[in-house]
Amino acid sequence: MRPPVRKASPQSIGAPGVQAPAAFALPVRVYYQDTDAGGVVFHGGYLSFFERARTEWLRQLGFDVRQLAEHDGVLFIVRELRMNYLRPAQVDDLLTVTAAIENLGRAQFTLDQRVLRGVDLLVQGSVNLACVSVQGLKPARVPPRVYAALGQSAGRKITHEEEA
């Protein structure tokens, strides 16, 4: 059985009206384990792709999630998630999964996350992450050094007053 022919998507990066934010990008290959019986990525599989990209993005910024928990006493948990599925990915596709700051707050931040195949936008998501304490999972402020790195990633200059 041959896979279906893919048509060009009007929702492509670089297409009029579709502006992608500056983002961290992670290449991801689609394996059989990511797909349903038809070789199409299962809708929940995109959540795993998003999680991998967020974790690697934080690592690139200099933060290991395990060390944030052990040394800073904080975790980032998904508080809200919206996804728009535009086109399916299939087994053996090479995808790019992105993460970019959409909104930065003191105890939470929102990421624009996307899955692309080449320049075709397949999935766009908005993921709100809350910073919580390891002990009791109560809301906590994003640690100042993490907040500064997130702000810099978003193109914001963070002042000393904002870090405090």
pLDDT in tens, 109-159: 999 999 999 999 999 999 999 999 999 999 999 999 999 999 999 886 654
Active site residue 36: yes
Which two structure tokens, joined as six digits, stand for 4?
């279906």
Domains of the chain with CATH codes? 24-155 (3.10.129.10)
**Annotated catalytic residue within 34, 36, 64, 112:** 36
**Residue 10: is its pLDDT beyond 60?**
no
Q: How sure is the predictor about 22, in pLDDT bands with cuts at 50, 70 and 90?
A: low
Mean pLDDT of the chain: 87
Give the pTM.
0.82
Q: What confidence tens digit (pLDDT) does each residue in 74-94 have?
A: 999 999 999 999 999 999 999
Q: Does the pLDDT at position 162 exceed 70?
A: no
Q: Give pLDDT, residue 157.
A: 61
pLDDT of residue 18: 43
Q: Are 147 and 107 in contact, with CB atoms under 8 Å apart?
A: no
Question: Residue 158: its pLDDT value, please?
Answer: 57
Please give, one letter per residue, the 3-state secondary structure of the chain: CCCCCCCCCCCECCCCCCCCCCCEEEEEECCHHHECCCCEECCCHHHHHHHHHHHHHHHHCCCCHHHHHHHHCEEEEEEEEEEEECCCCECCCEEEEEEEEEEECCCEEEEEEEEEECCEEEEEEEEEEEEEECCCCCECCCCHHHHHHHHHHCCCCCCHHHHC
